[in-house]
Amino acid sequence: MKVKDLIAELLKRNSLDDEVVVAYYDNGYCIDEIQLPMPAREIMEQAWGEIVKEAQETLEAHLDFTQTGYDIQELFEQKITELLQKEEN
């Protein structure tokens, strides 16, 4: 996903002051860990461009498998309950 597309998507549902939980990976993450002799920048950009879609699908599969979204919802509900109980006392 291009950064400009992510920003547009976020702004559809959020204001600039909203807080969000984010996980993202860019080519810098991979470059920092690369175990190969450093290839030309053009080769790295091409390689990254060709794996982005598959990498996104992999990330989404991991998030679905681990039910990360449900875990975050549960944390949110627990915190709401805790705050409501504090407010009652």
> Residue 52 contacts by C-beta under 8 Å, 6 or more apart in sequence?
1
6: in domain: no
Residue 41: the pLDDT is 81
5: in domain: no
Residue 51: the pLDDT is 95
Residue 6: the pLDDT is 94
Domain total in the chain: 1
Domain range for residue 64?
A: 21-88
11: in domain: no
44: in domain: yes
Q: Give the pLDDT confidence of 7-52 residue by residue, as tens digits.
A: 999 999 999 999 999 999 999 888 888 888 877 888 888 999 999 9
61: in domain: yes
70: in domain: yes
60: in domain: yes
pTM to 2 decimal places: 0.72
